[in-house]
A and B are shown apart, each in its own frame.
Chain A
């Protein structure tokens, strides 16, 4: 096999390997369905700052006017806290765009592969006052 071919094969392995890398974190493919990509815009109703996963509850208005509630699986809040974000970073009422994959069981649950603000800015980078991890330093000790 040529070097180039080896690289392309192993890039895929890396992508899978790195998620398995989370000290036996569950493989997301076990829960989310690669054949069910989702992309929608909704309004945050609440965020659960819990481990092992934070959850973002989103109300999505469908074309027929009905509202569906989705649960978006996110990462560990501990890492966000260390980056200077707080429980207040994502306020209810914020509109977000979710791009991810739906749960295999068909429930209204998806992994938050990309969660952005409607203007395209990545969530937690675009929120007011939470751009820099250094920001919180003055408040400590």
Chain B
């Protein structure tokens, strides 16, 4: 092949390879042991090590909300995108809302019931983070895979809990912060269909958001005794031009006697939310 043709070929291939997302690196095929019911056991404590909770897309390190007070403590790290293709395919009119979210992520005002959720990142207020955000927050979570067609997932952040009902057809009866989860097995992959998510949850601190039409399909696939491959497809035609996907590994926490601890953050937010309503002069 002529040098020029080789060059042209490389020029075509290279960009796609360069602008990649943080997909799972190739690992040898893994066959997990099965429980008597024929499925792998995903029970255990898992954690993600991506920085997607700051920003799903590629991002640089950034100062915190009050650098004059908390310097490097408050700063956020850099991270590569976990979005397949790199960018979230927002509808053009939706991008304005993302920008507005980011600009007001640390503003809270709960003085008016009707505007209770209008401002501020729900994470800041210690509201349950929703799906898939709970999976990539920098806190561990625990899967308890029951033997009665139920899988419980407990998250350390604000002690949020999800019940995954296996092979369940009932639709979400009402919206919930952690959604309505129905699971099934596809080979060794646990597939969880999530609907009924409260529209007020955000996907990260960068203001990425969705509507009440969001439909998430998660896939948890054992890659080794110590890793799960996590993928989530997000579909919301009112906000995005097409469904899009994130993926990253989940790591099993291996410390001896590891357990979830409490991160009950409500007390950390009360002064911020309610301090302004204190009786003047009261301690």
Contacts and interface: CB of A to CB of B under 8 A. Distances in A.
Chains A and B directly touch (beta carbon < 8 Å): yes
Interface of A: 49, 55, 71, 77, 81, 86-87, 139-141
Contacts of B113: 55, 71
Interface string B136-180: 000000000000000000000000000000001111011100000
Contacts of A87: 173-174
Nearest to B165: A141
Contacts of A49: 174-175
B173 A140 contact: no
Secondary structure of the B side of the interface? loop
A30 to B, nearest CB: 15
Nearest to B113: A71
A96 B282 CA distance: 42
A141 B174 contact: no
B170 A81 contact: no
A81 B172 CA distance: 11
A81 B175 CA distance: 12
A140 B168 CA distance: 8
Interface of B: 113, 168-171, 173-175
Nearest to A71: B113
B110 to A, nearest CB: 14
Nearest to B171: A139
A141 B113 CA distance: 37
Contact of A77 (B169, B170, B171, B174): B174
A42 B76 CA distance: 50
B173 A141 contact: no
A131 B168 CA distance: 25
A2 B266 CA distance: 49
A86 B170 contact: no
B169 A81 contact: no
A28 to B, nearest CB: 18
A31 to B, nearest CB: 14
A18 to B, nearest CB: 26
B169 A141 contact: yes
User: Chain A CB within 10 Å — which of B169, B170, B171, B173 has the most?
Assistant: B173
B173 A86 contact: yes
